[in-house]
Amino acid sequence: MFATEPNPKDNPSAGPVSSQWPPIGQTEVVGSLDVTVVVPVQSGDAEVRQVLQALGCELDREGRSWEMIFVFDGVQGPAWEKVEALRSEYGRKVRTIHFKNPFGESVCLSAAVEKALGRIIVTSPQYVQVDPIELGDMLDEIDRGADFVAPWRHPRVDPVLNRVQSVLFNFVIRMIIGMRFHDLNCYFRAIRREVLEEVVIYGDMYRFLPVIAFRRGYRVVEVKVRHLQEWGRAGFFGLGVYVRRLLDILAVMFLTKFTLKPLRFFGTLGGLVTLSGTMLTAYLTIEKLVYNEGIAGRPLLLIAVLLIVLGVQIIGFGLVGEIIIYSQARNLKEYRIERIWE
Amino acid sequence: MSLSIDLSIVVPIYNEAESLKILHGEIQAAAAPMGLSWELILVDDCSTDGSHRIALELRKNDPHLRIVRFSRNYGQTAALAAGFDQSRGDVVVTLDGDLQNDPADIPKMLKELERGFDVIAGWRKDRQDGFVLRRLPSMIANRMIAIVTGVAIHDTGCTLKAFRREVIERLPIYAEQHRFLPVMSQGSGARVTEMIVNHRPRLFGSSKYGIGRAWRVLLDLMAIKLISQFSQRPLRYFGFLSFLFMIFGGFFASVGLITTGAQAAAFENNWTVNTWQQTVISVTILIWMLMVFFAMLGLLAELVVHASGMHKRSALSRLMNEQS
């Protein structure tokens, strides 16, 4: 699916590499480093040098050993050459993973975790979005026992319109999922390695990683961070973006709350629809019997019957969901044990 | 598990700080004279009132005690599932943490198991709870479960239950409430019976249930019926529903035929129909669509079951070994 640290001999288009990888030594052991910074590179103009210097300086100052993995998500362009230059400069501290096609940030992160040596994974956007000073505090939270540190950009510096939309998005999330996260749209996160080994993410789940980790029973801490700059478009996004966000929320809500009991979800939804249809039918029946009005040609009757039929169909889907879960996921655990005292 | 012992007692606890010490004493008093090797597994559902500290304190003086702590609150069903997963006993007894169940019933349950049963469900015949909010809904739920599943147990909601190890290992306890465990066991071939147990009024704390569970119990019941009795042949379950809709649609069609009468038959009017006929036709079609829909869902479910490999030889031989 993807090529890891491509050998320039196989792939001449990858650009010149001045220094080869050092031979694999004793340090190539998972957990031998404190921190692995994962940077999914989404576009050719990524500020890889700035990110490396800002975070690297801060990590050195904190006295933590680190490495940085740039995951090129099907991206060519100047960023690639820049990283090659950094690699010759920093040696083993800079590593790259290269996808031939864009797979999205979730897959980037999963691939990087496979290769990462650090005990803590820090994800960063491809530019210096948040004051690197905050990284120290975030890592301290992990040392204090948190499994996942989510950032909260406060105060924010991007245009008001973006902020309003972001606040709205997070508010909807809070309402639907019932958790108090303020800022899911900032990807500057510090995560204990075990969390990412346990929680499998795919598709657009990257954004919801704190929510998923929380539902899986990990301790998620939110810290306020200073916002430096924001890339991306100002103003309104395309309609497609809003629709996709809405679908994401629906998927996350369904998967985090109802994976093991699909009928509870479909049954409640279908029950409500059927109930509304039944109430309309009851109303029409009263009209017919008490007031003796003809109801035959009324659209309301058809709507009522349609609602009942729709509700029953939704419940039917829930039944198939139960069969799927029973037959495919019999050993799925719904709990996470913190500790056992034997 | 290699370190097999005779009896595991599983107690889910959530904020039971006051009763924990008494409970532990009573369980000790009940289990010690039996002369069996036993363990007590306290599953702490992330209590916030210091139950955990008290449990750790008790553990210092009692080697039988094991404590499992969740990383957050997951509810009683998950706590029982974790207790089952961690248990090592040939017999597993589950018990409420609020002292309403009497640990003195445990020896009696073991005697009952020896008579050849696999699952014993406690029956709180003289239940010490409010009537309208607790006992009445429970009675209705139990009647419904008995009618739908054919497993006649008076009190499915009682946490005090005893299981043989083989039954538990065959049982998929994923999201289901503990109340359905006897039904599920019977579905997988166990012999289930019930036994009248002592029930005491609540001394400490408050009840952690509400009446809002009724709808969920109903939904769970539908799911349990499906997976405990039809998981090998889902098309029958869906086919039955499909058949119901066929009858229902047929009923509507005949109502339409009778009410419109022979003289108004459509073909005599050059295939034009009046509004009443039109309504009957559309309702009938809609209901018959449901019939087709459920038949298709049934086929889909067959496909899922087939793809899951549940019928594979290894899975079957596991079942057979356990029963022989």
Q: A309 — contact with chain B (CB < 8 Å)?
A: yes
Distance from CA of B39 to the nearest CA of A (A): 10
pLDDT tens-digit series, residues B211-247: 557 788 888 888 888 887 888 888 999 999 999 999 9
Decide: helix, strand or coil at residue B91. Answer: strand
pLDDT(A46) > 60: yes
The predicted structure's pLDDT at residue B174: 52
For A320, the enclosing helix (H) or strand (E) is helix A299-328
- pTM across the whole model: 0.79
Share of chain A above pLDDT 90, in %: 39
Alpha-carbon distance A339 to B77, whole Å?
Answer: 18
- Stronger pLDDT, A15 or A294, i.e. the higher one: A294
User: How many CB atoms lie under 10 A from the CB of residue B275?
Assistant: 12
- Band (pLDDT 50/70/90 cuts) for residue A320 is very high
For the segment A23-49, the average pLDDT, to the nearest whole number, is: 80
The 3-state DSSP class for residue A224 equals: strand
Sign of the alpha-carbon torsion through B218, B222, B227, B229: positive
Name the amino acid, one letter, at B136: L
Q: Helix, strand, or coil here: A186?
A: coil
pLDDT at B30 over 60: yes
Q: Does the pLDDT value for residue B105 go beyond 60?
A: yes
- Which of the two residues, B271 and B323, has the higher pLDDT score? B271
Q: Residue B288: closest CA among chain A residues belongs to which residue?
A: A309
Confidence (pLDDT) at B172: 63
Average pLDDT over residues B120-138: 81
Contact between chains at A319 and B238 (C-beta distance less than 8 A) = yes
**Interface touch A327/B305, C-beta < 8 Å:** yes
Residue B264: the pLDDT is 56
Instruction: Give the model confidence (pLDDT) of B295-304 as tens digits.
Output: 999 999 999 9
In the prediction, which pLDDT does B175 show?
47
pLDDT tens-digit series, residues A202-224: 877 888 899 888 888 888 999 99
For residue A296, give the nearest of B56, B231, B279 by CB distance.
Answer: B279
The pLDDT, as a whole number, for residue B150 is 84
Strands A3-4 and A94-99: antiparallel
CA distances from B266 to B262, B270, B274, B283 (A): 9, 7, 9, 17
Look at A313 and B213; give whichever has higher pLDDT: A313
Question: What average pLDDT does range A304-318 have in this prediction?
Answer: 94
The residue ranking higher by pLDDT, A19 or B265, is B265
Question: A341, B283: Cβ pair inside 8 Å?
Answer: no
Burial, B114: exposed, middle or buried (Cβ in 10 Å; 0-12, 13-18, 19+)? exposed
**Does A267 contact B219 at a Cβ distance shorter than 8 Å?**
yes
Nearest to B67 among A305, A315, A341 (CB): A341
| Average pLDDT over chain B, rounded to an integer | 82
Residue A1: band (very low, low, confident or very high) from pLDDT cuts 50, 70, 90: very low
pLDDT at B212: 59
If we measure between CA atoms, which residue out of B124, B89, B80 comes closest to residue B4?
B89
- B45 vs A335: CA distance, rounded Å: 10
pLDDT tens digits, residue range B166-199?
888 777 655 456 778 888 888 777 888 989 988 8
- Chain A hits for B237, CB-CB cut-off 8 Å, are 319
Which of B86, B231, B290 is opposite residue A312, by nearest beta carbon?
B290
Closest CA to B55 of B110, B15, B105, B85: B15
Q: Helix A78-90 crosses helix A48-62 at what angle (to 10 degrees)?
A: 30
Given a cut of 80, whether residue A3 has pLDDT beyond it is no
| Candidates B66, B70, B289; nearest CB to A309 | B289
Per residue in A50-108, pLDDT tens? 999 999 999 999 899 999 999 999 888 888 889 989 988 888 889 999 998 888 899 99
3-class SS of residue B210: coil
A158 or B294: which leads in pLDDT: B294
Interchain CB distance below 8 Å, A263 and B70? no
Tens digits of per-residue pLDDT, B234-243?
899 999 999 9
Is A296 in the B-facing interface, judged by CB distances under 8 Å? yes
Strands B89-94 and B5-13: parallel
pLDDT reported for residue B269: 64
pLDDT score at B291? 94
Alpha carbon of B305: minimum distance to chain A alpha carbons (Å):
6
Window 73-92 of B: residues touching A by CB (8 A cutoff) are: 74, 78-79, 81-82, 85-86
Kindly report, residue by residue over B46-74, the tens digit of the pLDDT.
Answer: 888 888 888 888 888 888 899 999 988 88
- Nearest alpha carbon to residue A267 among A314, A335, A222: A314
- Cβ–Cβ contact B286 with A under 8 A: yes
CA–CA min distance A224, chain B (Å): 24
> Nearest 5 degrees, angle CA B30-CA B33-CA B37?
90
Per-residue pLDDT, averaged over B97-109, amounts to 88
Higher pLDDT: B85 or A22? It is B85
Q: Identify the pLDDT of residue B270.
A: 66
Q: Which residue of chain B comes nearest to A333, CA vs CA? A: B174
CA–CA min distance B289, chain A (Å): 9
Which residues of chain A make contact with B215, given a CB cutoff of 8 A?
Answer: 268, 271
Residue B234 in contact with partner chain A when CB distance is under 8 A:
yes
Q: What is the mean pLDDT of chain A?
A: 84
CB pairs under 8 A between A and B: 139
Higher pLDDT, B263 or A89: A89
Residue A331 pLDDT grade (very low, low, confident, very high; cuts 50, 70, 90): low
Residue A116, judged by CB atoms within 10 A of its CB (0-12, 13-18, 19+), counts as buried
Model confidence pLDDT, tens digit, residues A145-193? 899 999 998 888 888 888 888 888 888 888 877 777 888 888 999 999 9
What tokens does B243 get?
Answer: 């058949």
Average pLDDT over residues B92-104: 88
> How much is the pLDDT for A140?
93
Q: Which of B66, B82, B294 sits opposite A341 (nearest CB)?
A: B66
pLDDT at B144 over 50: yes
Based on the number of CB atoms within 10 Å of its own CB, is A129 exposed (0-12), middle (13-18) or buried (19 or more)? buried
